[in-house]
Amino acid sequence: MSLVAGRVTVTVPATSANLGPGFDSLGLALGLHDTLHAEVIAGGLEIEVTGAGADSVPRDESHLVVRSMRQAFAVLGENPSGLRLTCENVIPHARGLGSSSAAIVGGLALARALVRDGRERLTDDELFELAAEIEGHPDNVAPAVYGGFTISGNDDAFYAVTAPVDERLSAVVFIPPTGVETKVARGLLPAEVPHADAAANSGRAALMVAALGFAPDQLHRATRDYLHQDYRRPAMPESLALVDALRADGIAAIVSGAGPTVLAFVVENADELLARTPAGWVSHHLRIDTAGVRASLA
Query: From the annotation, which residues make up the binding site?
Result: 92-102
Q: How far apart are CA 60 and CA 69, in angstroms?
A: 13
Q: How far apart are CA 20 and CA 204, in angstroms?
A: 9
- Binding site residue list for ATP: 92-102
Distances (CA, A) of 130 to 75, 110, 139, 144, 262: 9, 14, 13, 13, 29
Using DSSP bridges, classify how beta strands 170-175 and 158-163 pair: parallel, antiparallel or unpaired: unpaired
Angle at 52 (CA atoms; ends 59, 79), nearest 5 degrees: 35
Using DSSP bridges, classify how beta strands 82-89 and 44-51 pair: parallel, antiparallel or unpaired: parallel
Q: Coil, strand or helix: which one is 130? A: helix
Q: Coil, strand or helix: which one is 230? A: helix
Q: Where are the beta strands (DSSP E) in 92-234?
A: 149-154, 158-163, 170-175
Q: Where are the beta strands (DSSP E) in the chain?
A: 8-18, 22-40, 44-51, 82-89, 149-154, 158-163, 170-175, 253-255, 262-266, 282-286, 294-297
